[in-house]
Chains A and B, each alone.
Chain A
């Protein structure tokens, strides 16, 4: 876990995230969001959770980002430029960031270096998912099905 990699990834990620939050063209913002997600996946790799990183790329870039751009396409009337900008929101966000950072820095027990842990193989995750976490897994499956059907019902054209 090298510092250089960490610094590069965090600058990359935060820059992309900031772009996603502030760019005026909606499409550019959505694409920046995808880039930011790549950065987060890189963080996960750096932390040794390769599977989660790959899953993140798979789900967010392969599915969520495409969904977002599709939605932009389908609601195109205002897609060009988003003019309004709510400055009170900026103030709150900055305050939250300040508060969080202050409390993190203040908590001394958090300044620890990562211990040596055995590599987290996909096999182990699979075993955990199929044994201790099998109920949550089933529930998530159910949830996804429900979400799928719900989304379909929401956007279905009403028959006249």
Chain B
């Protein structure tokens, strides 16, 4: 029974495709692709609507206020109202803008964000597009975001836009390195760039109790943290929303956008966040695997969504907690701490692998990470830098 619920969507798709039995092969192929795309868009656009209102409500709770509560029950219809507002708002294009580039930027950024969703396994047998180098695809396509942001900045012909775009590109470039390098340990250990294989490699339980997720190994935990932080930066969210910091440069590269184009940017940011969280889930949190053997009766895609939701909650939580960083602090952090640590994770994963992947490997890789972490914090003088601030007043 639980198996059929687990595979419900897969069966439904096969049933739909069975209508096309007898038509040429490419028709079935195209139909299958279209179904996948449709499902992806339906699920994630709904999720986007839901998260946008939930984020506002959660943030409101954290800031001791109510948040949206007027439209529909508990304000749940708020996104619909927002959507209608965005759609009927006037679309303003600056006179001196580069109109083609200005128009293409939001299209590209949204397309890229949605494309990256395609390679993530959402449940057992539920990967929309299986590519041999799925992880590489994710990053290859994701790297076009920078171009899109630059197009937005350039096309608007506005100083704030340009500055915001440059900041965005600088930070995205810097954090793309730790992001990708922190994925490498997993790829190395699994020996594959295919997300399905990576999820499969995390099946099973040590001592029948602790799931074999990579986040439970020292290198995996370190890489997971690095990946999540870098992912946070890549999606330009607080505390790393330097490129669109409204108190400094209006809204960065989105300054000259309004109406539906602005909504597209907004959507792309959220979908990018979903994609990074989904990849983090796949890589480190065991994908759609259940955290305990007993809980395997719950369908796999539910587990995936639960983990995704947990990560998203953490993102919102961080946004509600931390203030915005300065750009130079961010850059220093990326190059002086994140990057060496990411390389250390590779070494630690290799140590873990060659020390037979057991408890011994666990301890040794912990030692590697702890040593490098300590050395880095001594070298970077974190004790002094993160001490309580001393205020000096004019005397």
In the bound complex, residues from chain B placing their C-beta under 8 Å from that of A57 are 140-141, 143-144
CA–CA, A121 and B154, complex, Å: 39
Per-residue CB contact flags for chain A residues 35-71 toward chain B (1 = under 8 Å, else 0) read 0000000000000001100110110011101100110
Minimum C-beta distance from A33 to chain B (A):
11
Number of interface residues of A (CB under 8 A): 23
CA–CA, A25 and B104, complex, Å: 16
CA–CA, A51 and B147, complex, Å: 21
Count A-B pairs with CB separation below 8 Å: 67
Say whether B131 contacts A50, CB under 8 Å.
yes
A31-B101, A50-B132, A70-B169 as given contacts; A58 in contact with B143, CB under 8 Å: yes
Instruction: Please give 16 more A-B residue pairs, beta carbons under 8 A apart, in addition to A28-B101, A34-B147.
Output: A25-B98, A28-B100, A31-B104, A51-B132, A54-B140, A55-B140, A57-B140, A58-B136, A62-B139, A62-B146, A62-B147, A62-B176, A66-B169, A69-B150, A73-B166, A119-B132
Contact of A55 among B132, B136, B144 (CB under 8 A): B136
CA–CA, A66 and B169, complex, Å: 9
Contact of A58 among B139, B147, B169, B191 (CB under 8 A): B139
In the bound complex, residues from chain B placing their C-beta under 8 Å from that of A34 are 147
CA–CA, A28 and B132, complex, Å: 33
Per-residue CB contact flags for chain A residues 113-128 toward chain B (1 = under 8 Å, else 0) read 0000001011100000
Does A15 lie at the interface of the complex (its beta carbon under 8 Å from any beta carbon of B)? no
B residues in contact (CB < 8 Å) with A: 98, 100-101, 104, 131-133, 136-137, 139-141, 143-144, 146-147, 150-151, 154, 162, 166, 169, 173, 176, 191-193
A residues in contact (CB < 8 Å) with B: 25, 27-28, 31, 34, 50-51, 54-55, 57-58, 61-63, 65-66, 69-70, 73, 119, 121-123
Q: List 5 A-B contacts (CB under 8 A).
A: A27-B101, A57-B141, A58-B139, A66-B173, A69-B150
Say whether A121 contacts B101, CB under 8 Å.
no
In the bound complex, residues from chain A placing their C-beta under 8 Å from that of B139 are 58, 62
Minimum C-beta distance from A27 to chain B (A):
6
Minimum C-beta distance from B152 to chain A (A):
12
In the bound complex, residues from chain B placing their C-beta under 8 Å from that of A122 are 132-133, 136, 192-193
CA–CA, A119 and B132, complex, Å: 10
In the bound complex, residues from chain A placing their C-beta under 8 Å from that of B150 are 66, 69-70
